Structure 1
Amino acid sequence: MELASLSRAALEKQLALSRVQRHALFEAIDDGFCIIQFIDGPHGPLSDYLHIEANSGYERHTGIADIVGKRLREIEPDNAQAWLDLYGKVLRTGETLRFEQEFLAVGRHIEVSATRLGPVEMRQVSVLFRDITARKKTEAALHDNVQRVQLAMAAGAIIGTWVWDVPADRFSIDEGFAHAFGLDPVQGRSGIPLAQIVATVHPDDRQGLADAIAEALGRGGAYAHQYRTRRRDGNYYWLEANGRVELDADGRPLSFPGVLIDIEGRRAVEAERDRAIAALRALTETLEQRVEERSAALLKAEDALRQAQKMEAVGQLTGGLAHDFNNILAGIGGSLELMKIRIAQGRIGDLERHLGGAQSAVRRAAALTQRLLAFSRRQTLDPRPSDLNRIVAGMQELISRSVGPAIAIETAGAHGLWPTFVDVGQIENALLNLCINARDAMADGGKLTIATANQTLDQAGAAQCNVAPGDYVALSVSDTGAGMTADVLARAFEPFFTTKPAGQGTGLGLSMVYGFAGQSGGAVRIDSAPGAGTTVSLLLPRHSGAGAADDAAAAAGAHRALWRKKIMVVDDEPLVRTVAVEVLADLGYDVVEAEDGPAALSLLGAHPDIDLLVTDVGLPNGMNGRQLADAVRARAPELPVLFVTGYAEHAVLNHGHLARGMQILTKPFTADALDQRVGELLGKERAAP
């Protein structure tokens, strides 16, 4: 479907449906889910976070209702830093983190998967979690049971102890032994005859017991024997006697200390121990599998969430584009229709006005496209060594007119400011956008401050800005306006998001600045709070090469062609190629044209004397504009090349780092812009016709 044919109502309906589907997806997730937004607080930068979105599962898994709008330190004041450290790592690194953590405020353990949303500047983390308190209690109970069984094994099955004085033939027993067999503990301490002990043994086991004792006495050492004894309830039970005979120096037995163990009790304890260990082993063996299944479910839910967020962003982008481009196309189409009518009526005096209206609409469309490409980091930049102080000074009059007399402007340019490598036109556009945003935030007037500074970021500072450590040049725009709420701040860089009334802003200003900064190797950050104004800081890498060129000298002079200078124009779009050929021909150049790279190389054989190659970057048939330029320069190494592009084949152009004698011109372009670039490339050989 053509973008221009989409009605705004249909797009708004589609966007509303996308939001409903996204909400339904959140609610379909059985786990708890929330999106948190890091904020600055009394404890320092990023020292708290705000819950800006959550599903009903949040309350099910934590017991906390109405979490949206609440800060971490409100609900978990005593353990806030632990959560800030965990989620802060996710925010800084962009890596998904899975962990288990006790939620002290609600007395629950939760299993968490956390992922950063968007760039680090948005300060947002999505959290997917579930309550695992029951599992934790089960694990603890199993461990306690194993410990209890082990203690029982050590002590619970022991009935009592004895010491047999062999020469005196008397048994000394403890209270446990005496109690089990109904004996007198006082007599047991002074000694009981062996016959009284043997009388408790089952008649069938007495001979075996006597033989075992005789063997132990005869050889000395350890002794273990099982037999039945009559306990105090009158019943016989299997017991086990364990002991060791002590001998004197002549090898005669002196005493026989030992322990009496309840065999049935020990077996019961061992069975309980085995059951507990088996249950613990089963839990351990299946834990890894359940963790893998849980991780797979989390990944699936995260993918669905990201897809829903992506679709909502696409819906917002499509709706905003359709609205703005339909307005622009209406202006162009209306102007052309009126021109057609006026030509038919013979009223050619009105043509200039309608032509100006159409050209104005084209410029608006070009500006909108550039902002979109800047947001997506796909615009074609023409970076040069630049002095931001000089750029700010050159923009001051335009900024003053743009913000109006109610706004006081102050500039604070740093002395000894480092140069930066940046597209001058884009940085000027970004600065103007920031100043206009600041103006709109100060409806009743105020103060706007533009400042520059040198900044060196260490590892920690660079991680907060999501850039590499090193030297940067900062350009900041501050206002004394109303400031932003946390919700607005979280969405500030979204395309087509705006708090301005309908018709008073596209919502692409900050998103363009964000994309331009990232594409230039830097970053942008917003510091704002309700009632405290806003500061937008743009960081650009320091340029270590030669300083900024003199812009005035570079742009000096009108460019006219030396008669019969020959230019080859290569573009696969016939209308664009025709316009470029006619403009250059009118300027006095000899022009040859080709529709793609192979055709251009064939034509070069018949025209080896060309003085300049003007080529589109995105060419068909297996050879792009950069490859064509390389092939042509293999034959003529010093041949100037002007790349023309309407899209961002930035990597094809070596990320803006072009060889000497190469420049870039962005579509759509004016005849004057084409004339100037061609003149610059042929300037050293230019002469009056």
Structure 2
Amino acid sequence: MLDGVYATGEAVHAKALPIRLTGLSTLRYIDLLLEPMRDAQGQVSGIFVGGYDITDRVEAEARLSDLNAELERKVIERSQARGRTWQASPDLLGALNSEGYFQTSNPAWQSMLGWTEQEVTSMSIFELLHPDDVERTRSGFNLTQHGQPAIRFPNRYRCKDGGYRWISWVGVPEDGLVYCSGRDITDEMEQAEALERTEDALRQAQKMEALGQLTGGIAHDFNNMLQGIVMPLQLIRKRIEAGRYDGLDRYVQAGLESARRAASITQRLLAFSRRQPLANQNVEVAGTLLGLEEIIRNAAGENIGIFIRIEAGVWNVMTDAHQFESAIINLVINARDALPNGGEVTLSARNVHIGTTEARFTEGLDSGDYVQVDVRDTGIGMPPDVLARAFEPFFTTKPMGQGTGLGLSMIYGYARQSRGTVIIESIEGSGTCVQLYLPRSTSAETRKGEGPVATPSRSTAARCILVVEDDNVVRRMVVELLRDHGYQVLEAGDGAAGMALLEGSIAVDLLLSDVGLPGPNGRQLADFAQSRFPEMKIILMTGYAAHVATDTAQLNQGVVLMIKPFDADTLLAKVSTVLALREAVGALH
């Protein structure tokens, strides 16, 4: 290098020259500059040598070079791995553009659905979807176009052979595309559908079992009651044929008693099915419970302590007052039966607000204000299997002949029909608490007693009553009863015939109609009558109150509801009362 400088007279720059310095075991890297020194004649007379130790920089560059090489190797490996994943993945992979076309697709599309990459890219996803999933998927796709990812979004994609597979998608939007991964969940969906079918079959079997229990209970009780009706009638006929009239009253009384028992059973069944007519009104809970105290204490017996705790300012409720009282008495009697060795029964009432979240977990309740009435005992409690069946009709743990099994089912039906519910909490050996929820009343008027009944001034012969009843036997008996008591009576077997008679030349004072009529029903017939004759009084009769008459609060003014079966004296008294009120109102005008 020195010879070169002397020979050429040019400076030399040696970069990163490795030099082992005396006393050091490692090489050092030096940047050397050799520059000629000239005399007065311009000849090279010497050489200037300068150097910089750049070992650290050289080593740093070497390490960086190694890192770059390692990074390049890893990039190559990862690219190869991604390629293998793309090729071997059993899931559908692809990038979906804003028009609903997959710009790329992996081989799984062909192995799973039968479509090649070219076929996938040539068809919109909406061409491949099951028709029932198109709109739902379109809504989800639109969300991804606004940056919202799709997580576990299921839909059905058409296979090339015409079948469909369920795919669960994950789609992540980025840079104008939605990067998608779809997993085949067809087997899972088919298993879920099979499980649902099995559960439906089980529920149907349970319903049929409950229906069998219900019809069996009804048949058993009604056979006994029919025997108590048929036998006295047969004995009466035999006595009359023999010319013997002594003891007939006893047979009549026996038949009527069985009929009343049958009527009670039907009312309980209607309560369970939520088809009983309810006279819903503003009921004062505190006053009702305190008014029942003496009856409850007598029903409970001397060895049972009765405690009544009512929260200050407890609200009124909108319900049927008589059904509410009956429910409380029945619950206390049940509590008494659970205390064979004595104990305590506590009645309490408090205001509660059911929020939206709580309502979702409380069967039968909407969010809002309720009064919670509890009947709690310290008795024997119920095991879980009995608690699960407590509301089933005709289910009872009492000995044969000591209970119909309709008490709790009746209370449950009444509460649900009142837009409330019943909840039972019980621990075997630790007592039971029945919680009755009834909706808070928003009415300012509380229930009031009936006023004195006006006495009719006209004779019954001057009154005209239209009887509309599709049951021939019932209609014939009612018509004969009214005519025997001096009323002028018209009769019709259906709503259309009743409307025709109302538009006839004879003035009708009272319409007495069944609710469940063929053609126009009784409620429609009543509306027709009142629209043409506003002063006409109407009595609707029903044995099964569906939507036309399940709540007497919804009946128009001047319409009275009678529940079948009723006895002759009750019908005559009701007719007389309604006509007397009509005459009293007419006198005021």
TM range (shorter): 0.5 to 0.7
- State the percentage of identical aligned residues: 44
Question: Is the Cα–Cα contact under 8 Å of residues 315 and 441 in structure 2 kept in the other structure?
Answer: yes
Gaps of 5+ in 1: 1-166, 171-189, 191-245, 247-253
Which of residues 365, 369, 372 in structure 2 aligns to 1:467? 365
Structure of greater Rg: 2
Question: Is the Cα–Cα contact under 8 Å of residues 560 and 587 in structure 1 kept in the other structure?
Answer: no
The 1-side partners of 2:447 and 2:202 are apart by 49
Residues 476/578 of structure 1: CA separation in 2 closer, same or farther (3 Å cut): farther
Report the equivalent of 2:400: 502
Superposed displacement of residue 308, structure 1: 1.4
Which of residues 263, 281, 288 in structure 1 aligns to 2:185? 288
Residues 354/414 of structure 1: CA separation in 2 closer, same or farther (3 Å cut): farther
Question: Is the Cα–Cα contact under 8 Å of residues 380 and 650 in structure 1 kept in the other structure?
Answer: no
Report the equivalent of 2:112: none
Report the equivalent of 1:151: none
Which of residues 426, 429, 435 in structure 1 aligns to 2:323? 426
Report the equivalent of 2:391: 493
Report the equivalent of 1:152: none
Which of residues 210, 232, 235 in structure 2 aligns to 1:335? 232
TM-score of the aligned structures, taking structure 1 as reference length: 0.57
Superposed displacement of residue 679, structure 1: 4.0
Residues 581/267 of structure 1: CA separation in 2 closer, same or farther (3 Å cut): closer
The 1-side partners of 2:78 and 2:284 are apart by 88
Residues 654/431 of structure 1: CA separation in 2 closer, same or farther (3 Å cut): closer
- Which residue identity lines up with residue 266 of structure 2 in the other structure? T
The 1-side partners of 2:340 and 2:73 are apart by 91
Q: Secondary structure at the match of 1:333?
A: helix
Counterpart mapping for 1:318-357 below 5 A: 318-357=215-254
Superposed displacement of residue 561, structure 1: 7.8
Which of residues 332, 354, 358 in structure 2 aligns to 1:457? 354
Per-residue deviation, residues 281-318 of structure 1 (Å, max 9, x unmatched):
65975523233323322321222122112111111111
Residues 271/423 of structure 1: CA separation in 2 closer, same or farther (3 Å cut): closer
Superposed displacement of residue 588, structure 1: 4.3
Residues 462/646 of structure 1: CA separation in 2 closer, same or farther (3 Å cut): same
Report the equivalent of 1:573: 471
Superposed displacement of residue 619, structure 1: 0.3
Q: Secondary structure at the match of 1:475?
A: strand
Q: Secondary structure at the match of 1:320?
A: helix
Per-residue deviation, residues 588-612 of structure 1 (Å, max 9, x unmatched):
4332221111111221233552122
Q: Which segment drifts farther, 411-420 or 436-445? A: 411-420
- Which residue identity lines up with residue 211 of structure 2 in the other structure? V
The 2-side partners of 1:518 and 1:635 are apart by 37
How many correspondences in the alignment? Answer: 442
The 1-side partners of 2:496 and 2:423 are apart by 46
Residues 561/678 of structure 1: CA separation in 2 closer, same or farther (3 Å cut): farther
Per-residue deviation, residues 618-647 of structure 1 (Å, max 9, x unmatched):
101x21111111111121123222111111
CA RMSD of aligned residues (A): 3.7
1:446 and 2:335 are equivalent in the alignment:
no
Residues 419/559 of structure 1: CA separation in 2 closer, same or farther (3 Å cut): farther
Q: Secondary structure at the match of 1:348?
A: coil
Superposed displacement of residue 541, structure 1: 1.4
Q: Secondary structure at the match of 2:470?
A: coil
Per-residue deviation, residues 231-267 of structure 1 (Å, max 9, x unmatched):
xxxxxxxxxxxxxxx9xxxxxxx99x867979x9999
Report the equivalent of 2:274: 377
Q: Which segment drifts farther, 571-580 or 271-280? A: 271-280
Report the equivalent of 1:37: none
The 1-side partners of 2:359 and 2:573 are apart by 40
Report the equivalent of 2:38: none
Superposed displacement of residue 668, structure 1: 0.4
Q: Which segment drifts farther, 510-519 or 385-394? A: 385-394
- Which residue identity lines up with residue 344 of structure 2 in the other structure? K
The 1-side partners of 2:576 and 2:287 are apart by 25
The 2-side partners of 1:273 and 1:419 are apart by 70
Report the equivalent of 1:44: none
Per-residue deviation, residues 451-470 of structure 1 (Å, max 9, x unmatched):
33333333344444331222
Report the equivalent of 2:569: 672
Question: Is the Cα–Cα contact under 8 Å of residues 626 and 653 in structure 1 kept in the other structure?
Answer: no
Report the equivalent of 2:89: 277
Question: Is the Cα–Cα contact under 8 Å of residues 306 and 345 in structure 2 kept in the other structure?
Answer: yes
Per-residue deviation, residues 114-143 of structure 1 (Å, max 9, x unmatched):
xxxxxxxxxxxxxxxxxxxxxxxxxxxxxx
- Which residue identity lines up with residue 341 of structure 1 in the other structure? K
Asked which structure has the greater RCO (Cα within 8 Å, sep 6+), the reply is 1
Report the equivalent of 2:536: 639
Q: Secondary structure at the match of 2:184?
A: helix
1:599 and 2:497 are equivalent in the alignment:
yes
Counterpart mapping for 1:505-520 below 5 A: 505-520=403-418
Superposed displacement of residue 518, structure 1: 0.4
The 1-side partners of 2:457 and 2:192 are apart by 67
- Which residue identity lines up with residue 206 of structure 2 in the other structure? Q
The 1-side partners of 2:205 and 2:542 are apart by 33
Residues 675/473 of structure 1: CA separation in 2 closer, same or farther (3 Å cut): farther
Per-residue deviation, residues 173-207 of structure 1 (Å, max 9, x unmatched):
xxxxxxxxxxxxxxxxx9xxxxxxxxxxxxxxxxx
Q: Secondary structure at the match of 1:349?
A: coil
Superposed displacement of residue 493, structure 1: 0.8
Which structure carries more helix by proportion? 1
Report the equivalent of 2:435: 537
Superposed displacement of residue 416, structure 1: 4.2
- Which residue identity lines up with residue 197 of structure 2 in the other structure? K
Question: Is the Cα–Cα contact under 8 Å of residues 91 and 183 in structure 2 kept in the other structure?
Answer: no
Residues 418/662 of structure 1: CA separation in 2 closer, same or farther (3 Å cut): farther
The 2-side partners of 1:258 and 1:685 are apart by 108
- Which residue identity lines up with residue 526 of structure 2 in the other structure? A
Which of residues 471, 474, 478 in structure 1 aligns to 2:376? 478
Per-residue deviation, residues 502-524 of structure 1 (Å, max 9, x unmatched):
22111111011001000011111
Q: Which segment drifts farther, 329-338 or 661-670? A: 329-338
Q: Secondary structure at the match of 1:663?
A: strand
- Which residue identity lines up with residue 398 of structure 2 in the other structure? K
Superposed displacement of residue 550, structure 1: 2.4
Report the equivalent of 1:615: 513
Superposed displacement of residue 572, structure 1: 0.6
The 2-side partners of 1:628 and 1:513 are apart by 32
